[in-house]
Every structure is written in structure tokens, then in C-alpha cells.
Chain A
Amino acid sequence: MLEWQNISIKGQGKPRLAELSLQLKPAQLTVILGPNGAGKSSLLSLAAGLVKPHSGAVLWKGKPLSSWPARDLARFRAFLSQSLSLPFPMNVAELVRLGRFPHLPRSPAEEELIIAKVLELCQASSLATRRSNELSGGELQRVHTARVLAQAWESQERGEGLLLLDEPTASLDPQYQHATLQVAKAMAARGLTVIAVLHDLNLAARYADRIVYLKEGHMIGEGSTRDMLREDLIREIFDVEVCVPRDERLEHPALITLGSRRDALNLQTQLKIVNE
């Protein structure tokens, strides 16, 4: 059980997160949604245990995350960051093997097997012998996802742990977006508490078990995916007109965003700005 207790983080001037409380059950994929600057990444970093809140606490199994030694924390919590750069090009298999750093080494054959499995899960097996500087952004993203899974491998074997994904589908083709979230879902099915920050409402609709809405540092809503993907909520949070087609063949809600509600962002105003 992961729990944010009355969390506040101050940014420059205004609060980045204000008195937020939230509990997440294990074995679920929770998706955090919200406009830019809503505090999504802050919420995720708190769960990673490296950022200390100005007030409140983040508890894992009733114990503050910040009280764990870095190495122990890394054994049950894996984090996928956005946009990583490497100072020196690395071999892909080596890069993925970095995920094994916090764990007690197993036999070389077992380690190789884990690397092979996570690469396969991320559909990156064919990249194993390549070097990081030869990969495209999307390929590198998949390799990093594999590395994070290699770190979470022990967790999924134990059936308990934290998997945190910050925009895991950024720069991926549709097929890999689905593949990545399916892996996340599989890890949740193995018992992990999986949290992902996403921008794509339809991917959230398709894969999330729960959805958390953030806006300007406040939690606007939290609940099951079906309850949360309502037109009125999305309109309020994203400032956007939205259409939710009802079709009985769909297992999950689908959403079509129709453009901004604010005059400043519609086509006519923008053309006027360009012309002036």
C-alpha cells in the first residue's frame, strides 16, 4: 500500500503540490493525468522516495519512504525518467544490465536470462547488440524501459513493489505505446503498484485501473477509470471540449478532444495573431 499523507511541496513562489492525500492499492495501474505544470512529476518523484516533501509523508507499507536506505529502496522501487542522456555511448545489453545494480548478483546465466526477458517484453531484443548512440529516441526509450523492468524483476517475483513510469510512451509509435502499457499492466497483474504519468487520454482509458487528476498542484479527482473519464471532468481539467462516443462494442471509454474552450486558443484568434 502506497500512501501520500497530507503532502505539500513548494516550488518557486506557489505550491507545486498542496495538501494532497492519496492511497493506492497494490496490483493496479494508476495513471496520473493533468495539464502541464499540474505537479504530476512531483507526485511521482515523491513516490520514488528521493524528494522530501515540505510537509506530510509518503508511506510504503506504513513506513516513510525517505527512511529507507538508497540501496534497499532501489530493490523494490524502479523509476523510469524522461529524456535521459548518456555521456559515452553504451552497448544496449550493458545499459539494460545497469538495472541489476541494486540486486545481489545471481548466476551469470540467470542474469542473462533476465536481460533477454525484459528486452523481449519491451520488443527490443533485436537492439541488444546495438550501441546507444545509434538508436532513435523511441528505441532508446524502449531500452530504458527494459532497464527499469530489469530493476523491478525481483519485485515482480516477490509480487510486491513499486514501478513508477514518467511518460513511458513519449516518442513511441502507437504499437509500442500499447506494448509498453501492456507490460505495465502485466507488472500490475504480478502484484506491483504501478503508477504512470500519461498525456494520452485514450491510452489512459484503455489501460488504467485508476485515474488521478491533478491541476495546479491540487488533486481534482481520483477513482476508477470509468468514473473518472467523464466529459465534465475532462472539460474542467484540461480546458478542452470533449466528445465521449457511446458504443457498446467498446470495452472502455473512448474520447475525442475537440479543441480549446478558451477564445485565445482557437484558430481565428491565432490567425489574427499571425497576421498582425
Chain B
Amino acid sequence: MEAARKNMSRRVLCLGLLMLASLLVASLKIGAVSLSWSDLWQLVAAPEGIAANPTHDSIVFQLRLPRALLALIVGAVLALSGLVLQGLLRNPLASPSLLGISSGGALGATGMILGSHFFPWAHAGLVPAAAFVGCLLASFWMLSLAQVEGRTDTALLILGGVAINSLVGAAIGLFTFFADDAALRSITFWSLGSVAGASWEQVAIVGLCSLPALLFLSFLGNALNALLLGEREAEFLGLSVERLKLTAFWFLSLALGAGVAYSGVIGFVGLVVPHLLRLWLGADHRQLLVASSVYGACLLLAADLIARTIAAPLELPLGVVTGAIGSPYLIYLLRRDKKLRLR
């Protein structure tokens, strides 16, 4: 029984890793300039410093690889955050974008970019830090809105998230409207996301900020399982729920903030991936955590590949693609849930 489940989860994980590797190769190969296998091989096999084809070299190593890696890391973080939030808050609708955490980060980022024109201390390099603070503040605001007598209320949580989202959205809109700044880019970037501007520096920052979350949160399987019973029951089982929540939100905010700073707010990955995997693997978080990261990375990598090829030379915002995949799935979930309730 237990062995069969472990086997299944191993298979799902292997499939995910295989998909991830193929998508990574595909995103290096496919694009405005399509590379053949031999082109790609020449690039990899070329000795250090002597590029066989300088154009191809810069396309792959300066544009496509950092872009793919950024999508990969951000996707992994988004899906993992969605799963952890759903577990911590015991709410199937929880995800960083729905609860306003990502948009809180976006407000921090835009605020810092705008502030760099007016204040000597504000600096574009501080954007990820500001996004981190934004995520953290939005998280704790959302939590305090949803707390009723020490319990997290499901309806209030979602309503609170909607409220924070629209308030923050208005503020970002105002910032981008008044700021005549290319660095602020467009409102589309902040509300729908994109990894088009990826650089190696960004990959390094996002990677470093995401590593603690990816490592720490992956060990929360048993604790999140205990939380399925409810906060009070989890405490009866010896879990310090408040401390767990607090720690998890710090790690999540750090990772999400860095991601938001360079890729904007990308919806649906955090919602769809955990639910999809639950259908395959059941509710055991020990198996869901790592799988979520892998499949989240796959989804965003695939979404980015679609976003930059389907309407080439134009690029779709990432949120359009993830939304196009995610919303029908969400509608399906809601319908299924309705049927379950009727039973």
C-alpha cells in the first residue's frame, strides 16, 4: 500500500524531471532564430572563449538560457508556495496571486523603482528587497484580516485577498500612470508577468532568494499533513502552528518577492499545479512538495515557450498563457466541487 504510493510518486517525479529537461532544451532551441541540433551541440562542445558561432552563442547564453532558468525558478517557487499556502491555511483556493501576496510584492517593487527618482537612498538594486517587504506585509495583513478568534476563516481569507489585490492593483496602476519611466515598464508587466527581461544577474538573485524556501519548505511534509486535521488538532499532535506559519511566510515572501521583482505577478501556477498533483498523488504533502516544484517549473517554462512563439515576433504576457491553461481547470475544479457537495 505505502510502497505502491511511493512508487507512484517516484514515477510522477521522474516524468516531471524528464519533462523539465526536454522543455529546457526546447526553450534553448526554439525561437525567432531556430537552432538545429548540430548548432546546439557545437555551442555546448565549443571550448571556453572560442565560440563557433558568436550570434548563436549570445542568443543561447545571454538570452535564452537565463530566461529559461528564471522561468524555471519562478515556476517552482510559485507552485510550491501555492501548495504550502493551501496546506497552511487549509484552503484549496489559496495561492500567492489570489491572496494578494504577489501583488503586495509588486507594490513594493514599483514603489522602490518610483522612489529611486526622488530619494537618494532608494536604488534599483533594492527592488527585490522592497518586493520581499511588500510580500511580507501583504501576507500578514491578509492573515490578520482572516483571523477570527484565533482561527483562519476560509471566506474571509479569500475576500481579504481580493480586497488587498484590488487595493494594491490600484496603487500600482497609479504609480505606472504617473511615472514616465521605462524601468517601471508597463502595468501589463506587473499584472500579467513576463520573464522577457531576464539576465544572469536576475537569475542569481532570484535563485539565491528562492533556495532557502525550496529547501526548507520541502521538509514540511509531515507538519502540513498534520495541519490537514485543523490547527487545534495539529497542536494536539505537538505542532507549533503559529511558529510554523510565521517561518513559512518569511521564507515564502523572500522567494516570491525576488520572483515578482523580475517577472511580475504570474497567476494560476500556484493554484493549478498543487491541485493537479493531488489528483495523481493524493493529499500526502511528503510526496506533493518536491513534485510541485518540478511541475511548477515545467508549467512556467512551457508557458514562456508558448508566450514567445505562438504570436512571434510579438510576445504574450505570461499571465495570459497561464490564465488560458489555468482558468478552464479552475472552472472544472469548481464544478467538480459542486458535484461533491451535492452528494
Contact = CB atoms under 8 A, between A and B. Distances in A.
B340 interface: yes
Nearest to A144: B229
A87 B232 CA distance: 14
B230 A88 contact: no
Contact of B230 (A84, A93, A101, A151): A84
B237 A102 contact: yes
Contacts of A136: none
A89 B283 contact: yes
Contact of A70 (B230, B233, B239, B283): B239
Interface of B: 1-2, 5, 86, 90-92, 222, 225-226, 228-230, 232-233, 235-240, 278, 282-284, 340
B230 A112 contact: no
A244 interface: no
Interface string A25-50: 00000000000000000000000101
Contacts of B283: 86, 88-91, 94
Contacts of B237: 74, 98-99, 101-102, 151
A133 B340 contact: yes
Given A88-B283, A98-B228, 5 more contacts: A87-B91, A94-B225, A94-B283, A94-B284, A99-B237
A87 B90 contact: yes
A81 interface: yes
B282 A91 contact: yes
- Which bucket holds chain A's interface residue count? 20 to 34
Interface in A82-109: 84-91, 93-94, 98-99, 101-102, 108
Contacts of A98: 225-226, 228-229, 237
Contacts of B284: 90-91, 94
Contacts of B230: 84-85
17 contacts: A48-B236, A70-B238, A77-B236, A81-B236, A88-B278, A88-B283, A89-B283, A90-B282, A91-B282, A94-B283, A98-B226, A99-B237, A101-B237, A101-B238, A102-B237, A102-B238, A133-B340
B235 A50 contact: yes
B219 to A, nearest CB: 14
Given A87-B92, A88-B228, A98-B225, A93 B1 contact: yes
A74 B235 CA distance: 8
A74 B236 contact: yes
A89 B340 CA distance: 11
Interface in A57-89: 70-75, 77-79, 81, 84-89
A228 interface: no
Given A70-B240, A89-B283, A128 B1 contact: yes
Contacts of B233: 81, 84
A79 B236 contact: yes
Contacts of B91: 87
A72 B239 CA distance: 10
B253 to A, nearest CB: 23
A91 B158 CA distance: 27
A112 B238 contact: no
B231 to A, nearest CB: 10
A137 to B, nearest CB: 14
B246 to A, nearest CB: 15
